[in-house]
Amino acid sequence: MSKHSEISKNIFEQLDAEFAKAMDMLNTMFTVPSKLGTIKLPYYYGYQIIVGPDGKAHLSEFGNLGSPPKLYNQNKLREPLVETLVDKKQNTFVITAEMPGLTKEDIKVNFLDGKVTIGADKGEKKYRTELPVDHELDEESVKATYTNGILELKFKLKPLTKQKTKEVKIE
């Protein structure tokens, strides 16, 4: 065997070893061991940074692993990617949720006690999230649209009422 063919053989053996390592890493990444046994894909988790109209960056988490991430999802329930925006110029509060693969009839939205609950169920696609709302909303003004997998809820903000002050006499 020539020196040139020995070098080529050695390079290919090294490449084979590197590919084997990469395959082992991929197999490890796509099978998550947990206390409940081995869980297969899909699972996802991430962060999103949005700069609001006020110029401030807002960080939000998304995924089906929860927060903090849990490496299992027993009931295949997904948490949609949700973005909220307060537009003080338009006097609105907007919630946008990415929920692909549904029809508008599959989606249920409720607003109760300062929380907006969004849920949907269609075959294998199950979504649910609950959002606390820190603003006074006019729940009668809400408009909801669902287009191309995106749910948008637009609420009008209730006008701030001026509080009356009452002087208390000390006895």
Q: Which fold has domain 45-157?
A: Immunoglobulin-like (2.60.40)
Distance CA 166, CA 143 (A): 38
In this structure, the strands spanning 81-87 and 150-157 are unpaired
SS3 167: coil
Distance CA 108, CA 97 (A): 12
Q: Where are the domains of the chain?
A: 3-34, 45-157
User: Residues 64-93: pLDDT tens digits?
Assistant: 665 555 554 445 778 888 999 988 888 999
Global pTM?
Answer: 0.54
User: Residues 19-73: pLDDT tens digits?
Assistant: 777 777 666 655 555 444 554 455 666 767 777 777 777 767 766 665 555 554 4
Question: Is 137 in contact with 91 (CB distance < 8 Å)?
Answer: no
What single letter denotes the amino acid at residue 86?
A: V
SS3 154: strand
